[in-house]
Structure 1
């Protein structure tokens, strides 16, 4: 077991040393998301902007091999063993990872983003209020379906706090208006399965007249399925995040709208706050341990303005 641990730690050292910017006299902050997705490109761009303002730090972005809580946990343990000075993680399953996070949090500053692990020894969370995002999505559904409807939800992992809170927020806003979230289908971040879930719903649930994609890659899979099955425009779609396919569908009216987060700001502002904390400024820690960066609701009316801002952020690095 000891030899395996050393090998794993050595692999993580290799990961850190592979950065051209790495220098022994700089402090290292590593961001670990919950899986590979185009959604994270904005966050990486925000981190790169922060890097230009933090010359005494190296900022790194490391994806787990796949969206699996055990694999994610092994990665952050390896990074800690390799000498990272702080780690920010988007937990895949906070309930099962709490003890492991506590172990890491006792060794170095551990932060959370996107999805929280509030019961762990993380320093603080930065990201959206996923409950508020869910409510925003529910309000979109109410406007799009004033007579009510039956919705099917799609998400990567219902065990993650961000998914659970979005679902609860959606139900709270839409439920009183006769909009029922009949079920939520999970895909474990497998995009082929995400598409299959939509196809299966069209076959098995003829009563569904609304679909909600709770993770960034779910709405594009909904779009593909509805397009290929001749159902675009016949089913109301509420989306999350800013995938280009999603924004195109909002623009042409195929989707009612999308609720977007600000991952660029999470990583830009978060990197600077984490650096300040490492340097001894504990005043950056919010009193309640949560730093909320509000989301936005994008509809046909403001999608072009949003796309222009998005392009500017991605091309500025």
Structure 2
């Protein structure tokens, strides 16, 4: 039967400076349940590092070892060789970060982030990079996934919050461990311990889309707006921007809003087709979410009538084909690849010890552009160029290292 022993340590100058033991100054082996060395007890958050047969807890400064007593000698070697600021647990590390990109739930928008973190792992020599998605759009599921990843040694997190407010809870927990967090694609609401939000300026993008459609409509008529999920922190900003553009057109433009139709393709298809059937006077469409855009693009192609002017969002192949064939005026391109790629770079730099520069902004625009028919073959190169530029300038602009 396995034994359980405790290994106590006293900190020396290096461990006091780094906030965790860099060398084991003294060993004391005792039976399980023995009281910790009270002289070494401090008030710190509990921080657990899982390893085959031991567990370290800052609150008691004790390694609890499950296994044969011979394991203690192995641990002694490991601890003596551990240098200040190793790869575990957050900022100040001398080794590369282990980064996870974690969206709020399943959605096609995030797929470019999968290749982005793989490229970032290679380009920035990360210890590891992973793209992990909760099974559903629920904050507790995202929390559980993040907690699990942290327990497996991940120490830098790029998240799209399921809930912009509630996500602050898990962010605070991760940051208290010493693990930096950035938001990618959508912002965690301020005040927050999230260092940066790398996302589209969604208000400006939606405003540009609406103004472009209204102009194509001749400045008058009925404009249909298909929105994203109400839980998406970007939806309200986009809705406000569309309403602003319509308001500037005066009474000559009537707005019909289909809210919360981005759950899946079927939801969006049903809502768009029902609206077009019920309102024959619609002569303009603006969609500010992925699934509504694809649904409307398919509907307009089926109708075969280019009388209705439309600007969508994102770059689904169905959407781009509709742009090329003249069924859409264009689609507002976003940069999810860049959001994850730049986010991974920022997390790695902060893990290595860089701090957010005083006065640096929380929100960083990852870029947007109107993909018109003449841009359908070149826009990706435009975004890659922009991504490299932002990443190349990031340390000098936003970090103090």
Asked whether the two chains share a fold, i.e. TM above 0.5, the reply is yes
Is 1:165 the counterpart of 2:237 in the alignment?
yes
Match of 1:115 in 2: 186
Match of 2:279 in 1: 205
Is 1:196 the counterpart of 2:270 in the alignment?
yes
Structure ranking higher in helix proportion: 1
SS at structure 1 position matched to 2:377 = helix
Stretch deviating more after TM superposition (265-274 or 180-189): 180-189
Do the aligned partners of residues 293 and 307 (structure 1) sit closer, same or farther apart at CA in structure 2, a change above 3 Å counting? closer
Tell me which of 321, 342, 350 is aligned to 1:277.
350
Give the whole-Å Cα distance in 2 for the aligned partners of 1:65 and 1:95.
20
Tell me which of 172, 181, 194 is aligned to 2:255.
181
Give the whole-Å Cα distance in 2 for the aligned partners of 1:286 and 1:53.
28
**What is the TM-score with the length of structure 1 in the denominator?**
0.81
Higher RCO, Cα 8 Å, sep 6+:
1
Do the aligned partners of residues 227 and 90 (structure 1) sit closer, same or farther apart at CA in structure 2, a change above 3 Å counting? same
Do the aligned partners of residues 97 and 55 (structure 1) sit closer, same or farther apart at CA in structure 2, a change above 3 Å counting? closer
Report deviation, 1:202: 2.0
Do the aligned partners of residues 68 and 181 (structure 1) sit closer, same or farther apart at CA in structure 2, a change above 3 Å counting? farther
Is 1:227 the counterpart of 2:297 in the alignment?
no
Do the aligned partners of residues 37 and 174 (structure 1) sit closer, same or farther apart at CA in structure 2, a change above 3 Å counting? same
Tell me which of 103, 106, 117 is aligned to 1:36.
106
Give the whole-Å Cα distance in 2 for the aligned partners of 1:219 and 1:41.
17
Say if 1:30 and 1:87, in contact at 8 Å, map to a contact too: yes
Report deviation, 1:308: 6.9
Do the aligned partners of residues 69 and 187 (structure 1) sit closer, same or farther apart at CA in structure 2, a change above 3 Å counting? farther
Tell me which of 71, 82, 86 is aligned to 2:152.
82
Say if 1:155 and 1:184, in contact at 8 Å, map to a contact too: yes
**What is the TM-score with the length of structure 2 in the denominator?**
0.65
For the aligned residue pairs, the C-alpha RMSD in angstroms reads 2.8
Do the aligned partners of residues 129 and 202 (structure 1) sit closer, same or farther apart at CA in structure 2, a change above 3 Å counting? same
Is 1:125 the counterpart of 2:197 in the alignment?
yes
Match of 1:18 in 2: none
Match of 1:19 in 2: none
**What does 1:1-317 align with in structure 2 at a 5 Å threshold?**
27-107=97-177, 108-119=179-190, 120-177=192-249, 178-187=252-261, 189-228=263-302, 230=303, 232-283=305-356, 287-306=360-379
Give the whole-Å Cα distance in 1 for the aligned partners of 2:321 and 2:382.
15
Tell me how many residue pairs correspond in the alignment.
291
SS at structure 2 position matched to 1:186 = coil
